[in-house]
Structure 1
Amino acid sequence: MHELSAIWHPTQADFDLFAQVSGDDNPIHVDPEFSAKSAFGRTVSHGMLIYSKLWGLICAAHPGARSLSQTMMFPNPCFTGEDIRLEVRGALPGTARMRAVRVKDGAEVFVGKAEVA
């Protein structure tokens, strides 16, 4: 059983760079003025940015790991400036259970799993 964890402090620069790399430049991620008028009140992370941070934990511990499949949900928003605890548990290779949680209130911002070879 593996348990991997890290703290990530997301920044607007993270969101902007991920938008450039991924091509997902939805204003909810990259435009603070637009986002201020949204239900969230500020920019929110791309879901796949959170997943890539979690996948990075796996790859750091298991170079050459390959993702065979993944499922994910984003029950709460991930904002800039709020520490996020990244957690991966499971038998690798095999099923990795992944979770990302806001440190300040324990709200899950990502819940999922990946089949890892």
Structure 2
Amino acid sequence: MQIFDNILTDRGSKYAVSGGPVASRAEAQDFIKQLCKQKKFAKATHNTWAVLLGDTPLKNDDGESGSGMIILRMLEREGLQNHIIVVTRWYGGKHLGGDRFRHVQEAVRHYLENRTG
């Protein structure tokens, strides 16, 4: 599991991105469970994620409507399979509107450019 914390802030909201290899839906769910064992991530407003398991796409918006699809599309463009990416947001008190989608893209891009393995 790789975690890039505090990669982006906007109007009080803070973002992190994490990811790692998974081979099944159960492993993806276990990845989220392990991430949320860290108190900071358990208290996050949203932990949105996506993974391509072969030809099977899985995603979860965790209340941040549309975010899982953004992650999924970026995984498809990258051709990265069996690797989950989670974008975490701590809500800062002000709505971000459409900017939140740009922030999800930036977080995923940061992960893809900086991950090892």
Same structural fold, with TM-score higher than 0.5 when normalized by the shorter chain: no
TM, length-normalised to structure 2: 0.34
TM, length-normalised to structure 1: 0.34
